[in-house]
Amino acid sequence: MNNLADPSPSESLCRYDETRDDMECYVPATAKHVLDVGCAHGRFGMGLLKVRSDLEIWGIEPVAAGADVAAQRLTKVLNTTIEDAVPRLPEGYFDCITFNDVLEHLTDPWSVLSVLKPSMSPGAIVVASIPNIRYFKVIKELLQEADFRYAPYGVLDKTHLRFFTRKSMQRLFTESGYRVDRIDGIRRAAFPWKFGLLNLLCRNAFDDARYERFAIVASPVN
């Protein structure tokens, strides 16, 4: 993933040591070869391998320190960006390609999703976690405080180059030649009572704002 800068030590724990066990269930039980884009320290792959030791997991990680750690945990790790890694990937090989909070860091995620399709096996899927810019805490800051403050991590991570809502996440995939098979809100938060009342008065029009991220499962369209 194309970070603007390497993470500081305080940011490293948040970005590089997350297990992302909330995304493990989206990797198909039939998958044998998984490509984890932006694998960081390889914690997500480690979690999968704990219950599915037969998996072959490749990682792509541009930050050298992260790639060095991941290389000791995963089958193979490429220390480069996803854009530069694509020509080095085997054709028709991966049953599942994962992007855990990565697509929003890319200059052109549409192009990346498109050019990865030749590396996918028949019936393969893409699994992605994407932050939700319509998250109610972001809306509250915009409306109540008239501010948009970048943060070391989270929805307003200062290294994000793209921002998505639930609708635009789906559009990202359809415009890149995919069919969205599933989209689930994850990391649900309870509304403050005023926001909850507003949502009720608006007939639940803000239900998607409960979720900090959405998990997407998508299939390439021939």
Element (H, E) at 58: strand 56-60
pLDDT tens figures, 119-148: 999 999 999 999 999 998 998 889 888 999
**Is residue 197 predicted with pLDDT exceeding 70?**
yes
- Extract the tokens encoding 82: 């996803």
Tell me the C-alpha distance between 80 and 64, whole Å. 8
Least confident of 5-9, 22-26, 60-64, 112-116: 5-9
- Extract the tokens encoding 86: 């694509």
User: Mean pLDDT for the chain?
Assistant: 89
pLDDT: which is higher, 187 or 87: 87
Instruction: Count CA atoms within 13 Å of residue 83 on its CB side.
Output: 11
Nearest to 127 by CA among 26, 9, 21, 30: 26
Q: Domain spans of the chain? A: 9-132+160-188+211-220
User: What CATH number was assigned to the domain covering residues 9-132+160-188+211-220?
Assistant: 3.40.50.150
pLDDT tens figures, 81-122: 999 999 999 999 999 999 999 999 999 999 999 999 999 999
